[in-house]
Amino acid sequence: MDLAALRAQQLELASRIVREDQPITTTPSVIAGADVGFEQGGEVTRAAIVLLSYPSLELIEHQVARIATTMPYIPGFLSFREYPALLAAWDQLSQKPELLFVDGHGISHPRRLGVASHFGMLVDVPTIGVAKKRLCGKFEPLSDEPGALAPLMDKGEQLAWVWRSKQRCNPLFVSTGHRVSIDTALAWVQRCTKGYRLPEPTRWADAVASGRPAFRRWQEIPR
DNA sequence: GCGACAG
DNA sequence: ATCTTGTCGC
């Protein structure tokens, strides 16, 4: 793999990311969550996409795709490692969502093209990036109260909101993926958070992608 | 030159 | 991300 070429590709794609809200924004009735996990020591990439109804936030569909891993993890190039599997899972959906949450950064990336932005652009759906760790940029320490907020700044521009979704939990990094402003991204993440650190779409995608016990229970003991 | 570094 | 049980704290 040629990192210089991938870096150039990121700059090109990043220039096409829409950081503003859509002129016509209607309330979504279906919101998706996407996440990626690995198996067999990393040789297999497993992507999961879940569909939740809104505003009830109930799981209505989940798809999992497994493909041979094509690239190693290199900070700043995560999307090239994860998007092939995500696209495979996306194609398996019986219906497409109106809003998409992706586990990872959106524009809060060195070249402004985190996995949420890259994948969001590929499927061309309003997308939000929800990351659990900082990749770049700086922010002031948050107070301990849940709801504490601080802008993630880099080179003079705000790239995300650092938001403490729950008490005694590390904050989340919420950013524009594609076709959603940073403020609107935060508003949707807040509306979809129900008492846990992660918003429901990413929480379920995470559970499905990594075979969490909570999900297996729901999966193996239905009805 | 010395750290930092999504998942 | 993943390897992994119990355990400390609210």
At A172-197, the pLDDT tens digits run 999 999 999 999 999 999 999 999 99
Q: How far is the CA of A104 from the C1' of B7 (A)?
A: 7
Q: Among all strands, which nt has the closest C1' to A73 (CA)? A: B7
Contacts of A12 (CB under 8 A, 6+ apart): none
Side chain identity at A98, as an amino acid letter?
A: E
Binned at pLDDT 50, 70 and 90, residue A222 comes out as very low
CA distances from A182 to A105, A145, A164, A165, A171 (A): 12, 22, 16, 16, 16
**Res A220 pLDDT > 60:** no
**Res A109 pLDDT > 90:** yes
Looking at residue A22, what is its pLDDT? Answer: 81
Q: Which nucleotides of strand B come closer than 7 angstroms to any CB of the protein?
A: 5-7
N residues, chain A: 223
Q: Among all strands, which nt has the closest C1' to A129 (CA)? A: B6
A21 is in an annotated binding site: no
Place of tokens 């009805």: A223
Domains in chain A (CATH in brackets) are 28-216 (3.30.2170.10)
Binned at pLDDT 50, 70 and 90, residue A1 comes out as confident
A103 is in an annotated binding site: yes
At A48-90, the pLDDT tens digits run 999 999 999 999 999 999 999 999 999 999 999 999 999 999 9
For C3, which residue's CA is nearest its C1'? A41
